[in-house]
Amino acid sequence: MPTRTPRIVARKIPTNETIAEGSWRLRGPDALEVLLVRPVVLGRDPASDTARPGAASIPLQDPARSVSKTHALVEVVDDRVVITDLHSPNGSRVLTADGEAHELEPGRATEAPNGATVLLGEFVVRLDRAPRDTV
């Protein structure tokens, strides 16, 4: 399986500019990296979210097919990451760094803390802050 290059969402960053300290990101298998500089819709083949016309659609490679076509919306609101399950059949969960598991209620935005593991069906991504020199 070929290695994917990290994915940066929203805008190209000039080589003389750095990303702000502590930008939120999602990291997953096959070098998947998504900087959350605008809302993103995650899924196997995500449709754009009409409620969030500026959201980026990020396709996920899920061999187990536990991720829905359009599974979840992830956005930063007031420097907090909130995840909304978009009524996916296999659901979404947030596992905190201290082991607490939270099943997301479909259609309801739920805050995810730094260091959380997010399960979209059985597909795993991790939420953290990107280092300042990430481009």
pLDDT digits (tens, 9 = 90+) for 35-92: 999 999 999 999 876 777 889 999 999 999 999 999 999 999 999 999 999 999 999 9
Distance CA 126, CA 14 (A): 26
Q: Is the whole model's pTM more than 0.85, yes or no?
A: no
Give the model's confidence band at 21: pLDDT under 50 very low, under 70 low, under 90 confident, else very high.
low
H/E stretch holding 76 = strand 72-77
SS3 10: coil
Give domain limits for the chain: 24-129
H/E stretch holding 72 = strand 72-77
Query: Could you confirm whether domain 24-129 is CATH 2.60.200.20?
Result: yes
Contact 88, 120 (CB under 8 A): yes
35 or 135, higher pLDDT? 35
Sign of CA dihedral 41, 9, 115, 110: negative
Q: What is the pLDDT of residue 12?
A: 34
